[in-house]
Amino acid sequence: MKTYHAVFLSPVGLIQLRGCAAALTGVFMEEHRHLPALPVDSVEDRAPFREAWRQMEEYFAGARRDFSLATEAKGSPFNERVWQELRLIPYGETATYAEIARRIGNPRAMRAVGLANGRNPISIVVPCHRVIGANGTLTGYGGGLERKRFLLGLEANAICPSEFPS
């Protein structure tokens, strides 16, 4: 299966999209923690990402709340269950790691939920930025806490898309 990648400029800096002809497999920000190496046969090409990038631009403009893209994230069955649950957190809302653990039927797995959340390969589209600490604090984010703060603020209509700190 042929894989593709392309880099786009967004309000939170450069974003790398990865995928194949059938699905988006990665959305990674600059200095992204847990950034996997590009497959050696990956081809740089923006064409496969036209629809994904159009939807991302709409999201950053405040005109899109949900993504309708074919995605494919590979991970352990536990990670995949967490990533599915992340998709159920509504735009503009947050959930705690404990809430996600309860929702997947494993209430003591808060740390494991945190690890799975941090390894989500399709950030923004699978909204791992909407998961916060039990006391409401912003905790770890693969793209960095400033980006998490920005995305949550964007969704709360508290900031303009051009206000990300440089």
Write out the catalytic residue numbers: 128
The DSSP output letter for 25 is: E
Closest-CA residue to 126 (of 81, 163, 157, 165) = 81
Buried b (16+ CB within 10 A) or exposed e, 19-58: beeeebbbbbbeebeeeeeeeeeeeeeeebbeebeebbee
Contact 149, 163 (CB under 8 A): no
**Cβ count near 162 (within 10 Å):** 7
The DSSP output letter for 73 is: -
